[in-house]
Chains A and B, each alone.
Chain A
Amino acid sequence: MIIDVVGLSKTYRVPVKGEGLAGSVKSLFNRQYRDVEAVKNVSFQIERGERVGFLGPNGAGKTTTLKMLSGLLHPTAGTVLVAGYRPKDRVVAFLRSITLVMGQKQQLLWDLPPQESFALNRAMYGVDPAAYARTLDQLVAMLKIEPILQKPVRNLSLGERMKCELVAALLHQPQVLFLDEPTIGLDVEMQVQVRKFIHEYNTSTGATVILTSHYMQDIAALTPRLLVIDKGTLRYDGSLTALTERVAPERRIVVKGGPAELAELGFVPVDGDQVATVTAEETNRRLSSVLSRWPMVEIAVESPPLEEVMARYFHEGSA
């Protein structure tokens, strides 16, 4: 087990401001505070080499949790062990065994070529020059960023910059990768490349990957295990398929350009197609009855998209 979290909580104290001018002036003299529980009593374990996705609406506590796991924030309560260390102690050996990549923040030096940031990180992590050269070559080859190493970071595109951020974050060969929205703002093509890289990196090095993302595709493609965090609490811990089966077990049978008579079998027209929503067990029976009468139609069976599964799941929680 590489990560062990027990009863983790984080409470922020934030000032409360009244409405309008009067409220502003009042808060000048007598500031009221409110405790916000960003993370409440969260526990989970992660094994070495796993790929795990944190999912949840904005403000659910994903990033806060990630920052506590990486030692940036001190927990209000609970215990965290990552690779055998307490993150908040920020001991050198711990920091050298993890990395954090934040899609919305950057560590590369803005005015200098990425290579300079890499060299600085090499010195700060105390990576042996030979090992550094080897790792850098491999990462550069995997991400195909050879041509941009000499360009100042400010002249790079968002996607190129994210690739360089990944290199900068991985030069010390961490065992645990925390990725906070690593694909945010990237175009689809670049998202696919980054996803592919993370997957490859995980399988080839056995490093543990913990990822948050807004893009369901990141989760669907990358992380077999899912932790759903909602309003600071852990609501689900398990595989994506199990969650889908539980929340949205039905299938959609779509008959492309199907005949109107399908209505007899419970189909309804949608954009010129005939569509029926059925339970998983029902699917095969319904399919055969369609095909027995119209053997030549084009037919497709779909699970509800992940976005819809999640929307339904969160709705279920609040209802």
Chain B
Amino acid sequence: MTDAGAGARETPSGAGILWRAMPTLWRVAVAGIVAYRAEMVIWILSATLPLVMLALWDAASAAGPLAGFGQADFARYFTVTMVVRQLTGSWVVWELNYMVRSGSLSPQLLRPVNPLVYNFFETLAAIPWRMIVLVPLLAGLVVWRPDIVFAPEGWRVCVFLVSVALAFAVAWLVQAIFGMLAFWFEEAMGVFSVHFALWSFFSGYIVPMALLPGWISGVARWLPFYASLGVPVDVLIGRAGLPEVAAQAGWVVILALAGRIMWARGIRRYGAVGA
């Protein structure tokens, strides 16, 4: 997964330093989370948007299954979606946008590690803490809706894990790329919100891919939106397979390359404008 860091190859020693710094990064992330207990509660609560969607689909399928999705299927689908969304969450677009606009990127560029690579690892370090948040939530869900418990085949679980890692990389890379737009446009965040609206519709976040009209899902199935969230979910519940995972890997490569090129040009522009 190291090759996903958009600028990793630019500062070859950066990633190495970071691997060794992982324990420290880890501790910083822990201390950061612990210092703000109230925020932890907030994380738990804001992880529940898929449940809002579940309520809608639940009500819609009360009279009978829709396109093969019954109430239990929807419950499973959105529970897994919630988990994957937590595991693949990142914040690099906000951070990068802020750093570019405020000029605080400049001191970061003087460090031996590429700031983007640093963020990538920081994001990784936060994942176990997100899981802490998820466990009680999942336990509560199982009590509330026992029908969400299901046993996928072993190979699906393995592919699921790979697919989550790829989804993490795609999601992070897409955010990094939108963040880099800040080098050129003041309103990169506005563009990102437009992207988010599209993303929530085509990623499976609010509508399962199988329920989109045929021709739309035929296209959306191969787009990065889906690669960043829906693929692992559908893999686990048996509605996607290896071709979709291969597409995810393809997107990681394409986005990493695009990110590298953008980063190089962006930094040049940043230097020229003088921030």
Instruction: Tell whether any CB of A sits under 8 Å from a CB of B in the complex.
Output: yes
Interface presence of A21 (CB below 8 A): yes
B27 with A28: CB separation less than 8 A: no
Give chain A nearest CB distance to B81 CB in angstroms.
28
For the side of the interface on B, what is the size category?
Answer: under 10
Q: How far is the CA of A24 from the CA of B27 in the complex (A)?
A: 9
| A25 and B27 contact, CB distance less than 8 A | no
User: B211 at interface (Cβ–Cβ under 8 A)?
Assistant: no
What's the Cα separation between A262 and B37 when bound, in Å?
Answer: 70
Most chain A beta carbons < 10 A, residue from B27, B34, B35, B37: B34
Contact A27 B34 (CB under 8 A): yes
Tell me, in angstroms, the Cα distance from A27 to B34 when the chains sit together. 7
Cβ of B126 to closest chain A Cβ, rounded Å = 14
Structural contact, A24 and B37, CB atoms closer than 8 A: no
Q: Is the pair B31, A28 in contact by a Cβ cutoff of 8 Å? A: no
Interfacial chain A residues near B37, Cβ < 8 Å? 28, 31
Smallest CB separation, B8 vs chain A (Å) = 28
Contacts of A24 in B (CB 8 A): 27, 30-31, 34-35
Q: Which of B12-29 contact A (CB under 8 A)?
A: 27
> How far, in Å, is B186 (CB) from chain A's closest CB?
12
**The residue from A17, A21, A27, A31 contacting B27, defined by CB atoms under 8 A apart:** A21
**A21, B30: Cβ atoms under 8 Å?**
yes
A20 and B27 alpha carbons, distance in the complex (Å): 8
Which of chain B's residues has its CB closest to A27's CB?
B34
CA gap between A17 and B34 in the complex, in Å: 10
Contact pattern, B 34-75, Cβ under 8 Å of A = 1, otherwise 0 = 110100000000000000000000000000000000000000
Complex CA–CA separation, A28 to B35 (angstroms): 8
Contacts of B30 in A (CB 8 A): 21, 24-25
Report the bound CA distance from A48 to B27 in whole Å: 54
Instruction: Write the A21-58 contact mask toward B (1 if CB under 8 angstroms, else 0).
Output: 10011011001000000000000000000000000000
Taking CB atoms, residues of chain A closer than 8 Å to B31 are 17, 21, 24
Q: Whole-angstrom distance between the alpha carbons of A21 and B31 in the complex?
A: 7
Note all chain A residues with C-beta closer than 8 A to B34: 17, 24-25, 27-28
Q: How far is the CA of A17 from the CA of B30 in the complex (A)?
A: 13
Contacts of B27 on A, CB cut-off 8 Å?
20-21, 24
Distance in angstroms between the alpha carbons of A31 and B34 in the assembled complex: 10
Residues of B85-121 at the interface with A, using a CB-CB cut-off of 8 Å, are none
Q: How far is the CA of A20 from the CA of B31 in the complex (A)?
A: 8
Nearest CB on A from B271, distance (A): 20
* Residue of B with least CB distance to A20: B27
CA–CA, A25 to B30, complex, Å?
Answer: 8
A31 to B92, CA, bound (A): 31
In the complex, residue of chain B having the shortest beta-carbon distance to the beta carbon of A28: B34
In residues 233-288 of chain A, which contact B (Cβ within 8 Å)?
none
State A17–B35 Cα separation when bound (angstroms): 8
B231 CB to nearest A CB, Å = 35
- Closest CB-CB distance, B40 to chain A, in whole Å? 8
- Complex: A41 Cα to B39 Cα, angstroms: 37
Bound-complex Cα distance A24 to B34 (A): 6
Q: Separation in Å of the B132 CB from the closest CB of chain A?
A: 10
**A17 vs B27: C-alpha distance in the bound complex, in angstroms?**
14
In the complex, the chain B residue whose C-beta lies closest to that of A15 is: B35
Residues in chain A near residue B35, CB distance under 8 A: 17, 24
Which residues of chain A (95-116) have a CB below 8 Å from chain B?
Answer: none
Chain B residues, Cβ within 8 Å of A27? 34
Q: Can you identify 18 A-B contacts, CB atoms within 8 angstroms?
A: A17-B31, A17-B34, A17-B35, A20-B27, A21-B27, A21-B30, A21-B31, A24-B27, A24-B30, A24-B31, A24-B34, A24-B35, A25-B30, A25-B34, A27-B34, A28-B34, A28-B37, A31-B37
Query: Residues of B with Cβ closer than 8 Å to A?
Result: 27, 30-31, 34-35, 37
> Which 5 pairs, one residue from A and one from B, show the smallest C-beta to C-beta distance?
A24-B34, A28-B34, A24-B31, A24-B30, A21-B27
Given contacts A21-B31, A27-B34, 16 further A-B contacts (CB under 8 A): A17-B31, A17-B34, A17-B35, A20-B27, A21-B27, A21-B30, A24-B27, A24-B30, A24-B31, A24-B34, A24-B35, A25-B30, A25-B34, A28-B34, A28-B37, A31-B37
